[in-house]
Structure 1
Amino acid sequence: MQLIVLRHAEAEPGGDQDANRALTRRGVLQAESMGRQLAQSFDHLQVVASPWLRAAETALIIAASTGSDVGHLDRLLPSGDPVSVAQALEPLWCDDGALLVVTHQPLCGRLINWLVEGVADPAPVAPCSGAQLSLEWPAAGMARFPRWLSADLSPY
């Protein structure tokens, strides 16, 4: 399966624990760009996101580009635990599909590291960036890292 672990697009300034921060105009453009990239790479994409506004908005914009529905997982909050997230993803797993997970920092970097390296060390992940991983099951150290994804909108 292909698993895409993505940090939400750029959000309005505010506290990291503010669940109601919306995307900025640039964030909307980032999500649209990522949606186009993913639509070109995958015929169908299953999408799950944190219920917090900035992640939910990112997921909805991407889903519109890919013709997908969006589900929400409370475990995808910034303080989430990679092991708990993997357990929540298990029912969504299929051998031949692609699953997009839209979450926050520091969980995004910790989840990527845990899946690839087997340790949940934090790693920096820019807004609307993340990793496309190949794996048979969501478990520690089981993923291969085929490519990094970014919605870079330079020169903004």
Structure 2
Amino acid sequence: MQLFLMRHGEASFDAPSDKERKLTETGRIETELMANWLAKQVNHFDLVIVSPYLRAQQSWQEVSTHLPEPRKWVVDDDVVPSGDPKIAVDIILAYAEQYKADNVLVISHMPILGFMVSEFVPSMEPPLFATSAVAHIDMLDQQTRFVAMTVPHQVVM
């Protein structure tokens, strides 16, 4: 399985609650850059899992315009900022098995994303994710390895 963990784009702090924070214009641009990059890495996603928070949903809306429709996409309360990374990883793996997914995209938040990387690749310290950054984890042949972290300023349109 090829797993791509993505942080939402830059979000405004002008909102009634954390759940309702919207992407800024910069966040939309960052997300578009990374969506184009993702489209070059993977021709389709079998499974997409997205946080219910508005900024993650908006990030998925942007990404989805650059990729074919996934076989399945799910909104999951376990991939929110305060979620338990162990539970989130178990949920991701269960969905991937259920839908026989070879290519999986998760759009979520800090700090859970960093801790999820450490759950998938125990030898790694939790990395920091810039907004719209994507961590690629290769889970083929029963071996899991961290491939790379890609951030918007590294990507050229």
TM-score bucket (shorter structure):
0.7 to 0.9
The answer as to whether partners of 1:7 and 1:105 remain within 8 angstroms in 2 is yes
Q: How does 1:110-149 map to 2 (within 5 A)?
A: 110-117=115-122, 122-136=126-140, 143-149=144-150
Per-residue deviation, 1:73: 0.6
Tell me the matched-pair count: 149
- Residue type at the aligned position of 1:92: Y
Q: Return the alpha-carbon distance in structure 2 between the equivalents of residues 82 and 137 of structure 1.
A: 23
Structure 1's 65 and 88: CA in aligned 2 closer, same or farther, altered over 3 A? same
Per-residue deviation, 1:68: 2.6
- What SS does the aligned partner of 1:43 have? coil
Deviation digits for residues 99-147 of structure 1, max 9, x if unmatched? 010111100111112211267x643211111310011599xxx620112
Per-residue deviation, 1:153: 7.5
Aligned residue in 2 for 1:78: 81
The answer as to whether partners of 2:89 and 2:119 remain within 8 angstroms in 1 is no
Q: How does 1:102-113 map to 2 (within 5 A)?
A: 102-113=107-118
TM-score, length-scaled by structure 1: 0.84
- What SS does the aligned partner of 1:75 have? helix
CA RMSD between the two structures: 2.5
TM-score, length-scaled by structure 2: 0.83
Unaligned runs of 5+ in 2: none
Q: Which has the higher helix share?
A: 2
Aligned residue in 1 for 2:13: 13
Q: Return the alpha-carbon distance in structure 1 between the equivalents of residues 22 and 154 of structure 2.
A: 19
Q: Return the alpha-carbon distance in structure 1 between the equivalents of residues 148 and 75 of structure 2.
A: 25
Unaligned runs of 5+ in 1: none
Q: State the identity as a percent.
A: 27
